[in-house]
A and B are shown apart, each in its own frame.
Chain A
Amino acid sequence: MRHRPTWWKTLVALALTGIMLFPMYWMVNISFTQRRSIRSADLWPRDFTLANYGSVFRTQLPYLGTSLLIAFSVVLVTLVIALPASYSISFLDFAGARSMNFVLILAQMIPAVVMSLGFYSLFNDLGLLDSIPGLILADSTLSIPFAVILQTAFMQTMPKSLIEAAKIDGASDWTIFTRIVIPLSRNTIVTTSLFAFLWAWSDFMFASTLNPGGGKLRPITMGIYDFISANNEEWGPLMATAVLASVPTAVLLLVAQKYVAAGVTAGAIKD
């Protein structure tokens, strides 16, 4: 291959990334702009203020706390259900292993609006409407099929001889699962957790339908939604809230980029 200077490609790539991320820049820009200047649409926060963040911290912290609680719980629920099931599908004599993959792919294709309508009447009967546990259970449906598909795909690449050797040494399934399979699945567990967290954090559908009267016990997405519904044109605080709601995404992308990319391609899944 001939070696040609590639700096112009980097420049083009920078320009493309700039266009792609412009909406995000715009959000940050507005969040630092005084109310009186927002309508002048300056390209940078010329009329700079931190007041928008001040008001957000005063009003939105409970929502952020709720979102964190829900997202972490969803990660936990997802792992607790998906890991043993993946172990069973990959290594044990599980009768439905073959059809399970199909069921899970299908499960992922069910529109969220169908799920939330079903959940609404189910939760109505169970008394789970307007509750955090209800939302945790609903949000975990976003990640559990993905988690099982990803985990089984990975576990099937583990050497079977390893498991068999442990069995011959008299190790129980539980020991093999907790001492061998889980430690080896570390990377996939990180990827799974990351997506479970982000999807629960981003959820709008379930939060807006299953938690209509939850007051302050609502996730941050509903905090933003209330801003819009109030129709008070407070774009500064609204954008500041949006910036805060984007923090987990930004952090995870910077810290765990390789796990993110692995998740997209391995599962090729997301709505």
Chain B
Amino acid sequence: MNIKCNSSPTVITRQISTSFFYRYRSRLAAFGFAAPLIVYLLLFYVSPLVQNVSMSLHRYTRRTFVTGDAPFTGLDVYREVVSSSEFWVTLGQTLVFVFASIAVQYALGLALAVFFNQNFRLSGFLRGIFLVPWLLPPMVSGTTWQWMMDADNGILNRFLGLFGVGPVWWLQADNSLWAVIIANIWLGIPFNLVILYSGLQNINGDLYEAASIDGCNGWQRFWRITFPLLRPVTLITLMLGFVYTLKTVDIIWLMTQGTGTSQTLATWAYALAFAKGSHMTIQYSEASVIGTILILVALVFAFVYLWAQKREEEA
């Protein structure tokens, strides 16, 4: 880069102007390449979001949805939704669904990750096969679980019958929440397994070597080395698990249609917005209110996620 030092003033000005031109052109190119994505995001993310918030502030019914003259109501619909008893019952069920699902998914996923982390014959292949439940269409797994949990002829009750347990009405009333939690845990284990496994792979093997020389047994090695070092990965796994479990509709809907105790905020919004299941009339505004609440929770968690990611990068 010595050449630049000796350049005459005219060359320098020319360099400046070309670099200005170049800069402008490269800005333009950068924008050009990103333009499809920007347009796409505006059209298919921003506009549905704005639509959703706007619908939650107006009173939309089937009629006003068509005519387009829904009256502005401010936060009235929010007040109505939050003051209804169904909201609080559903919120409680949502919390049970989310926390029971991610706690068990994480615990089992971690146990499996530690197990598969030991090299044995077929470990890589079987770990890959474990992904099947997670990649299958929820339609397929939901239907299969529904049949397995059939009260009269389901294999699950047949199995329990061997131990003298009477038939369980899995998909009804109070049991339905636990039925969908079981299926959802099954669905989420592979995700936890894969992420935690990759976390384990990044832990330096020498640490274990040193620990076993110092006389630590396997249990101690897990709690003193693996678990603390896995903390950042744990944080991200739980965070993503929370967000994705919160918005789950398909597996619940396909098994119980949100009947009994299995209604969550997401399935409730789905039922209200499209008049599905036991909700016969379309209630756009109420659905949008619940949708907006879900978005706000997601927003909070997006920030927490970024913060956690940043911390992990710095560590």
Chain A residues engaging chain B, CB cutoff 8 angstroms: 1, 6-7, 9-10, 12-14, 16-17, 20-21, 23-24, 26-27, 30, 38-41, 80-82, 84-85, 87-89, 92-96, 102-103, 105-107, 109-122, 137-138, 140-141, 144, 148, 173, 177, 198, 201-202, 204-205, 208-209, 220-221, 224-225, 228, 235, 238-239, 242, 245-246, 249-250, 252-253, 257, 260-261, 264-265, 268-271
Contacts and interface: CB of A to CB of B under 8 A. Distances in A.
A117 to B, nearest CB: 5
B299 A106 contact: yes
Interface of B: 23, 26-27, 29-34, 36-38, 40-41, 44-45, 47-52, 55, 65, 112, 115-116, 118-123, 126, 128-141, 143-148, 152-155, 158, 186, 189, 191, 194-195, 198, 209, 236-237, 240, 243-244, 246-250, 253-254, 266, 269-270, 273-274, 276, 284, 287-288, 291-292, 294-295, 298-299, 301-302, 305-306
B120 A10 contact: yes
Nearest to A124: B65
A167 to B, nearest CB: 10
Question: Closest 4 CB pairs between A and B?
Answer: A118-B48, A92-B30, A85-B37, A111-B247
Contact of B120 (A9, A84, A103): A9
Nearest to A9: B120
B127 to A, nearest CB: 8
B306 A242 contact: no
Contact of B155 (A41, A88, A141, A264): A41
B247 A201 contact: no
Given A7-B121, A41-B158, A239 B26 contact: no
A112 B249 contact: yes
B236 A268 contact: yes
Contacts of B115: 9, 12-13, 16
Nearest to A137: B44
Contacts of A85: 33-34, 36-38
Contacts of A107: 41, 45
A224 B36 contact: no
Given A106-B302, A120-B273, A242-B139, 10 more contacts: A9-B123, A20-B189, A24-B132, A41-B154, A81-B36, A117-B48, A117-B291, A242-B143, A245-B137, A257-B131
Contacts of B248: 271
Tell me the dominant secondary structure on chain B's binding face. helix
Contacts of B148: 23, 26
Contacts of B273: 113, 116-117, 120, 209
Contacts of B121: 6-7, 10
A261 to B, nearest CB: 6
A7 B118 CA distance: 12
Contacts of A109: 243, 247, 298-299, 301-302
A188 B288 CA distance: 36
Nearest to A263: B194
Contacts of A269: 240
Contacts of A80: 36
A245 B144 CA distance: 12
Contacts of A39: 152-153
A10 B124 CA distance: 11
Contact of B186 (A23, A26, A270): A23
Contacts of B246: 111
Contact of A249 (B49, B52, B135, B249): B135
A139 B296 CA distance: 23
B192 to A, nearest CB: 10
Contacts of A202: 136-139
A6 B120 CA distance: 6
Nearest to B34: A88
Contacts of A208: 274, 276
**Most chain A beta-carbon contacts within 10 A, residue among B65, B140, B145, B237:** B140
B129 A17 contact: yes
B256 to A, nearest CB: 12
A141 B44 contact: yes
B147 A30 contact: yes
A232 B191 CA distance: 35
Nearest to B243: A109
A254 to B, nearest CB: 9
9 contacts: A20-B133, A26-B148, A40-B153, A111-B298, A113-B247, A114-B294, A117-B55, A120-B273, A204-B139
A25 B121 CA distance: 23
